[in-house]
Amino acid sequence: MREDPDLADALGEDARRLASARCIAPTLRLSRGAWTPPGPETVGAGIGLLLLHGLMLRRVGVDGRFGAELLGDGDLLRPWQGEEGDPILSRTTGWRVLQPTRLAILDESVAECFALYPPLTGRLVARALERSRNLAVNVAIIHQARVHVRLHMLFWHLADRWGRVRSEGVVLPLQLTHSVLADLVAARRPTVTTSLSELSRQGLVTPHAGGWLLSGEPPGELLEVQAVEIPVSAP
């Protein structure tokens, strides 16, 4: 509660003070690199894993082609969900920690405590739905024919969440490699490198200390995409 102000804001002052003292969750620290998620026994009948701080990449592949999802502060994870059984399409799922990350383990005892404060559960459900919405926008972005257009749209889409307005433009303080960007826009890394050069030449997206600088206005295609919601599962 103390580490997630947005979650705490779901409660009034008195309830927030009580919940902060009662709803204490164990945490898990992750270093950069590949991550093997724990199984469902970690939370039992609980809620899942809440990303308190950091940045992670969930990568899914089918028949040698990959897509990816970027996860950050406040996202709710259940990495084991959907991994059981034999799917019709053979797929691989991998997780990578892009920045040192802390996860709160919302196990059964935490879930019981949250049940005393319904607005907390409502806020978590809202976040899960928002994650699905973001996935839907990502799906629409990768259907754009030209990779430099996909990248331009992706950067502005990420800026909705992580961007910081500055006098020179919008700064996106995410250190994303060309390989990570390639996964996010479903393209090959060399093509992404070429497309980034094109965006830089046009003055639309340029490297910035610790991230990227976005200039001008968001592409009109993105605004149209964000207005369309497609149901997508987000385990």
pLDDT tens series, the chain, 235 aa: 678 888 989 999 999 999 989 989 999 999 999 999 999 999 999 999 999 999 999 998 776 677 899 999 999 999 988 666 565 555 678 999 999 999 999 999 999 999 999 999 999 999 999 999 888 899 889 989 999 999 999 999 999 999 999 989 999 999 999 999 999 999 999 999 999 999 999 999 999 988 999 998 888 766 666 665 444 444 5
Which residues are within 8 A (CB) of 59 and not within 5 positions of it... i.e. 6 or more apart? Answer: 66, 67, 68, 93, 94, 95, 96, 183
Which residues are within 8 A (CB) of 16 and not within 5 positions of it... i.e. 6 or more apart? Answer: 1, 8, 9
Q: What's the pLDDT at 209?
A: 85
How far, in Å, are 27, 69, 72, 109, 172 from residue 218 at the CA level?
37, 21, 22, 44, 13
Residues paired with residue 77 on neighbouring β-strands, in sequence order: 49
Q: What's the pLDDT at 233?
A: 44
CA distance 60 to 39: 18
Q: What's the pLDDT at 164?
A: 93
Q: Hey, CA dihedral for 67, 99, 28, 125, is it positive or negative?
A: negative
Which domains are present in the chain?
Answer: 5-140 (2.60.120.10), 147-226 (1.10.10.10)
Task: Report yes or no: 127 and 59 within 8 Å, Cβ to Cβ.
Answer: no
Q: What's the pLDDT at 83?
A: 62
CA distance 105 to 60: 23
